[in-house]
Amino acid sequence: MAKRHPSHAVPGAKRGRPPGSPNVLTKDVREQINLFVKSVDVKELKALWRKVKKEKPESAFSTYVRMLEYFVPKLQSVSLSSAEDGPLVVEIRERHVDTHSDFSPKEGVK
């Protein structure tokens, strides 16, 4: 019979890494990527980008879109529904502010 880890004997005992703590492999990979990015010569990278863009524009575009994911957060889709499963009514209100008036708030008004 296989031996069980001591935490199996105690009901409710926590096992594994705490939530939010990075996996060791993930941490190592991120460090290696960081070292690689820091070692890249910007002039060489720009020259390579120009070459790819000229020779394979579709590849350059897909690469650009993939790189954007690291700089621009992805948007989540949003769905709207009414509480009664009826039609959804959207009311748009406009507020006009006159920036040219000489209005000044009265003292003591909060």
71-79, Cβ contacts within 8 angstroms, sequence gap of 24 or more = none
* pLDDT greater at residue 13 or residue 37: 37
Which tokens in the block code for residue 50?
Answer: 């120009």
pTM over 0.75: no
Angle between helices 57-68 and 42-55 (to 10 degrees): 130
Instruction: Give the tens place of pLDDT for each residue, 52-89.
Output: 999 999 999 998 888 888 788 788 888 777 677 777 77
